[in-house]
Chains A and B, each alone.
Chain A
Amino acid sequence: MSQVLMAHGGGGELTRQLLVERVLPRLANPLLNPLLDSAILERPSGRVCLTTDSFVVQPLFFPGGDIGRLAVCGTVNDLTCLGARPLGLSLALILEEGLELETLERVIDSLARTAEEAGVPIITGDTKVIERQRGDGILINTTGIGVLPEGLDLRPARINAGDLVILTGVPAEHGLAILSVREGLGFETALASDAAPLNGLAAPLLALPGLRFMRDPTRGGVAGVLADLVEETGLSVEIEERALPLSPIVRHASEMLGLDPLNVANEGKLVIVIAPADASTALARLRAHPLGRHAAIIGQIKPSTPPLAELITAIGGRRIIQRPMAEATPRIC
């Protein structure tokens, strides 16, 4: 038996075997091990945060990551953005009939490694099997629970004109890596997804009183977050193209595909808004972390009517930044 069968989801002996042999040993931790119907956590002090995310990605494995790694990072990062300390994740696996068990094991291994990297245990879970469909193989949902430290209040309403905008690293790596393998574009060797849990990167910033807002620029890219900011604050934001930490390969791949790196997805970056007084401290702390080496101040919040996100281009022109319509796709010619 090397593939997932419908019976693996039936709740009977096969289900138990699948879990006990393939899944649980890889995820073992004291909160999960009792295998009760629900995980039991000690009541934390502070407010509780809850977030959920579902993961559907093709291909399942790509340079720099896989669906398992994404499933941990996505949810951990959503908690991180509010300043919450993640306590644990639930893991719901929806497996397609016919999925190679070896593939499942690879995904769970990666998920476990990423959870360990983040220091966040998987504390409860569920597995179902669906009939063979498109051959996507595996869908994952994770829900994360976290605790907000007292006094921390990160939201757009606290942003003021004059605050600075930080991007924690090279944008567009995840989206370009996926596009590149999916379409066989030939950058596979040079491009890797940035998928990473960011709670460790963000932790040293939480003590800074000037920290206003953090968001991970996933599918809508950095442009999507900037558009959110403008809509949610009623202020304008001005980004300096020259200040963007672009790598040569991201530049080149975006150019070839006719894509704007600001519109392409990230899975291991934060857009941070911070008061000018704390910006250099924040930048130094970010750069001291391996995931923040290329962090840069990329722009500033401006008072303005109407509220706009604008880019000062490398040659000094101005143009608008908008949330991309849909997933970025390469141009025709």
Chain B
Amino acid sequence: MKATLDALQRDAEGLGELRLMEVCGTHTVALFRTGVRDLLPSNVRLISGPGCPVCVTSQGYIDAAIEAAASGEVTLCTYGDMLRVPGQRGSLEALKARGARVVVCYSIRDALKYAQAHPKEQVMFLAVGFETTTPASALAVLEAARLGLERFTILSGHKLVMPAIEALLADPQADLHGFLLPGHVSVILGASPYRPLVDEHGLACVIAGFEPQQLIDGVARLVAQIKAGAPALENVYRAAVRPDGNPHARAITQQVFVAEDTEWRAMGVIPNSGLALRDEYAHFDAFKRFSLSLGADYDPPGCLCGQVIQGRVQPPQCPHFGKGCTLTQPIGPCMVSSEGTCAAWFKYARRA
């Protein structure tokens, strides 16, 4: 580890500011929690991208979910991280306290179990997350079909990583030198979808896991590529990520979902960046069952989350950070979510 860090230090010297983006909330948290950020050369800047599933979810989706829970028609099953995201009508947490049926789940399997145990209730699961969580959602839908769970639906807010990265890079202001690519997502995707980042954008790319050694190796390889002027697609997480990923998981996802244009927080509608249920599974589609539609996307007043998830603003640059906006009184999703960039900065790096 020491040797890698020394080599990294040497390689980075004289290269000017190196802007590297991680696009996975788990990476963001791990980089802080393990202290890796603290050990990087001062000119290596890690910038968090759109990797936190809750944060990238458009406000329209959040409001639709809150509407559904407020209607009293459904029992809303959700990951705990979604509970406290503020919407037009307050948060799900506040609704729950007022008696709305909101059930916190650790996975979609919990929601399925709940639906089985409560066959009279309309059970709606807030299915958010990237390629890592979509296979589980697909399996749950297949299972619900097999069990004949008439009243189970999902509100798909699933998103795909690559279209968001492409959208970021389409911005001429985006000034990035490389990507630390997400281990979990790559277990499913494999390496090849990232090819255009190297071939078309000439960016350094390394797939890495979450242990300190992995994180340091990842950054070290990125810097080495940049120094050599030879961008490449490397994988330092070979123990888990196979070149072709997990075709089986992808096949199940494709069986149930189809890519569609989807709105992201502050990033607008990105072509083919989200997943909707296929017509065969329309029965499980909460949008269709309850005729829900997505309202406008907006950031909570004064909140810069939309900029934070695109790496344009670092949390301490937000005037609310640590003042009006804290873990106990979060203003935006980036502070609410355990994988949010503001939350990570606040928890691990706020020294004042």
Contacts and interface: CB of A to CB of B under 8 A. Distances in A.
A42 interface: no
The 9 closest A-B pairs by CB, nearest first: A317-B35, A313-B35, A317-B38, A333-B132, A319-B348, A329-B80, A325-B327, A315-B212, A317-B39
Interface of B: 1, 25-26, 29, 32-39, 53-54, 79-81, 104, 106, 110, 128-130, 132-133, 184-185, 212, 216, 327-328, 338-339, 346-352
B34 A313 contact: yes
Interface string A173-203: 0000000000100000000000000000000
A332 B128 contact: yes
A332 B38 contact: no
Nearest to B29: A258
A320 B25 CA distance: 18
A314 B33 CA distance: 10
Contacts of B129: 332-333
Interface string A305-333: 01010011111111110100100011111
Given A313-B212, A325-B327, 14 more contacts: A306-B351, A312-B35, A314-B35, A315-B1, A315-B34, A315-B212, A316-B39, A317-B35, A317-B37, A317-B39, A319-B38, A322-B346, A322-B348, A332-B339
A318 B37 CA distance: 9
Given A315-B1, A319-B349, A320-B349, A330 B106 contact: yes
A327 to B, nearest CB: 9
A315 B106 contact: no
Contacts of B36: 313, 315, 317
Contacts of B26: 258, 331, 333
Interface of A: 183, 258, 260, 306, 308, 311-320, 322, 325, 329-333
Contacts of B1: 315
Contact of B106 (A260, A317, A319, A329): A329
Given A333-B26, A333-B184, A317 B34 contact: yes
A325 B106 contact: no
Contacts of A316: 35, 39
Contacts of B184: 333
A329 B338 CA distance: 9
Contacts of A183: 106, 110
